[in-house]
Structure 1
């Protein structure tokens, strides 16, 4: 795997809840500023190291990885919008899983 260019630490439960929001479209677009992670239009407090991100995920693949995590925060290591996301528990670094992003929706 390529080295991560961007690292984001965010509340694990808040991210899961935002991913599983009530919208009908199963694809969620993640973008990030220096102190937030946006899931579509929902802004979550976060810490970002590295360049801004923009990628799409399917909640059916990312939510189970978040459910299996340990502790209140999750660390997302992102190399590119088309490369696997390394999902780690921020408190327990030995838990890791990979989640593959999906192509950004055509309207984006």
Structure 2
């Protein structure tokens, strides 16, 4: 069970740093940040949130980082030949003013690999 506490530390760190790698805007926030506890020995996990931009200009989430994972990527789910697959989002995720971006199971999420 040593992965669960470190993973939860990552989620708490996300909540403590609302802009989450959104560089130059002070009004882009990550709220409702959560994740499921990983089972013992699990090497991967995911984090979810809602990004809200209350500025007048569009922004983009281009990267994420964690001290508890070897690699962190922005992912989404895509249907390919009748099979649901997770894929890395290349180029980041737009965060438009007034339009929340929801990271949730079955959709966009922060993938944590090598826990």
Q: Same fold (TM over 0.5)?
A: no
Which protein is bigger by CA-based radius of gyration? 2
Q: TM-score, normalised by structure 2?
A: 0.26
Q: TM-score, normalised by structure 1?
A: 0.27
